[in-house]
Structure 1
Amino acid sequence: MGKKAAQLEEQAKAIDHGDTLSHIMEQMAGIANQSYAWLEKSNLADFCRTAKERKAICHGDYNSNNLLLAENHEVMMIDFDRAYYGLPLDDFRFLLVSLMKNPKNDAVKRTKLLFDLYFSICPLYAPYKSVYVADAMFPHVFYSEAVGREKQKQALHSPSSLDLLTRLAEQETKKFAFLSDFFKSEG
């Protein structure tokens, strides 16, 4: 993640200062660095050892639309067509991205419920909540879009690119603000 934060910083420096895109890039680089700093304070080494010792199946589309409540109040996950071996951390990251896309979601309420549910289903990872939160704070979607456009030599300053990056930055900022509060309350 440190390398990704550095890439965002480099992109921010390469853009003419004073315009909207420059401000957005600087803001996202700041969020990336803050999430990286919090990740370093987390129990990352132990998390990596634990994750390395077991194969985990990631749902690949973990969100509230793929959870059912049975009559006995047990929660069941459905729709495993995107499942793969990987870090369960990916599922939590996906969950947050999906919740932040729709401004009508009460992302704070839904995330707290789904986060608690996730760790009740995966108790082995419960001691690493701070790793999950710090990783999810990173502006992954914004990073992928900005770096992808740069690699494809697409103009970051075009109106459509700027609109997309602005919208993604707003989502990432909202997610970061919520997770910062959550991180402080958990930590």
Structure 2
Amino acid sequence: MADQTIYSTAPPAANERLIHMARLLLKQWDVEARAIDVVQSGQMALVWKVHTDDGPKCLKRIHRPEKKALFSIYAQDVLAKKGLYVPRIIKTRDHRLFKKYGPFLFVLYDWIEGTPFDLTVRDDLTAMINALAHFHVQSTGYEPPPGVPVFSKLGKWPKHYMKRCRQLEAWKQLAALDRDDPFSRLYLEEIDRFIERGEEVLQQLLESHYEAWVEQLKKRPSLCHQDYGTGNSLRGEDGNVWIIDLDTAAFDLPIRDVRKMMAPLLFETDRQGKAKADMVLEAYEAVRPLATKEKKVLFIDLLFPYDLHELAVEKYIRNVPLAEAELAETMAYEQTKWEEISRRLASL
């Protein structure tokens, strides 16, 4: 199989420094590096592919606060030992799962050789979602070892909805300071109805099965990947679906991962005209069926204007110059999504 790895495009001098850094770090593990490639480099994210006589390894600097990183590291170790298709963590010479330098945790994994999935191919999409459902089922009941902080989003959705609505409201002040900007003018004209919808979604969530489901899962939670997609799943050379990059894993309702997979596919169809979002839900339920009241929570979460909020973050927090057309397109998507998901909710 051809190497699917995308390597760093950093200048050669920068890569050399990073390779030297990796060689120093690897002294903490019982591995002999024949060669090292820089796969990802940036202000925080660092990934190296380490070539050894025992196959390739992945050395990674975890781009998460330590408490959250510890939760995901220990969870991945337990899941790999249970036989889930997640990369095995290689212990350091002193039998630890990571090495800490300054504020950063470094972890060495088995490198998974595989092929990324193509969401235009029905079998690929189905295999990915089946694997996600198995991940949720098989991680149920995971308990972090004593002393490892718990990272949980159970019960936090209402607060997250409220925070996003408040931000959309607050950014009106920034837009008002730049009325000559077409993006900001359109934002001021249209944002109130989306804020109102966000508040309506919050009320629907509070009246749904959400809180009861949260209480149920607190007794025996399951892990959510939180960043699942084509970049974090591979069809391995062994034919199995491998789930990688578990850095963001947390306890949450399993449908949070499903919502993130469904939302961008809502208005796409395959060659036979079948809606890809429906394919996602069917593939998931083939492994982990959802009760009607659980599907309602999923659809309520789909209603929230996440894409519009993220675009506003780009504009008003990250100061990315954006055209009016991008905002108009996102608002049109949110409007169409609202109509489609409301219809689905009414039919349950």
Separation of aligned partners in 1, 2:268 and 2:226 = 24
Q: Tell which structure's C-alpha radius of gyration is larger.
A: 2
Question: What are the within-5 Å matches in structure 2 for residues 11-160 of structure 1?
Answer: 11-12=171-172, 15-16=175-176, 19-53=185-219, 54-58=221-225, 60-62=227-229, 78-83=241-246, 84-87=249-252, 88-100=254-266, 104-105=268-269, 109-123=275-289, 127-152=293-318, 154=319, 160=322
| Matched position secondary structure for 1:105 | coil
Deviation at 1:94, TM superposition (A): 1.2
CA shift digits 1:56-77 (9 cap, x unpaired)? 24373358xx7x9xxxxxxx99
Is the CA contact (8 Å cut-off) linking 1:59 and 1:82 kept in structure 2?
Answer: no
CA spacing shift, 1:181–1:112, aligned 2, 3 Å = same
Separation of aligned partners in 2, 1:39 and 1:12 = 25
CA spacing shift, 1:108–1:77, aligned 2, 3 Å = farther
CA spacing shift, 1:110–1:51, aligned 2, 3 Å = same
Higher relative contact order, chain-length normalized (CA < 8 Å, sep 6+): 1
Is the CA contact (8 Å cut-off) linking 1:12 and 1:29 kept in structure 2?
Answer: no
Partner of 1:168: 330
Is the CA contact (8 Å cut-off) linking 1:12 and 1:22 kept in structure 2?
Answer: yes
Separation of aligned partners in 1, 2:189 and 2:325 = 14
Deviation at 1:183, TM superposition (A): 1.0
Separation of aligned partners in 2, 1:77 and 1:47 = 31
| Matched position secondary structure for 1:123 | coil
Separation of aligned partners in 2, 1:135 and 1:92 = 10
Higher percent of residues as helix: 1
Higher percent of residues as strand: 2
TM-score normalised according to structure 2 size: 0.41
Deviation at 1:38, TM superposition (A): 1.6
Separation of aligned partners in 1, 2:301 and 2:334 = 12
Q: Which runs of 5+ in 1 are unaligned?
A: 69-75
Partner of 2:163: 3
Separation of aligned partners in 2, 1:148 and 1:161 = 12
Count of residue pairs the alignment pairs up: 171
CA spacing shift, 1:104–1:116, aligned 2, 3 Å = closer
| Matched position secondary structure for 1:121 | coil
Deviation at 1:79, TM superposition (A): 4.8
Q: Which runs of 5+ in 2 are unaligned?
A: 1-160
Separation of aligned partners in 2, 1:23 and 1:89 = 33
Separation of aligned partners in 2, 1:123 and 1:98 = 22
Deviation at 1:104, TM superposition (A): 4.8
Separation of aligned partners in 2, 1:77 and 1:43 = 34
CA spacing shift, 1:173–1:105, aligned 2, 3 Å = farther
Q: Give the share of equivalent positions with the same residue, in percent.
A: 16
Is the CA contact (8 Å cut-off) linking 1:24 and 1:166 kept in structure 2?
Answer: no
| Matched position secondary structure for 2:275 | helix
Letter in 2 for 1:33: E
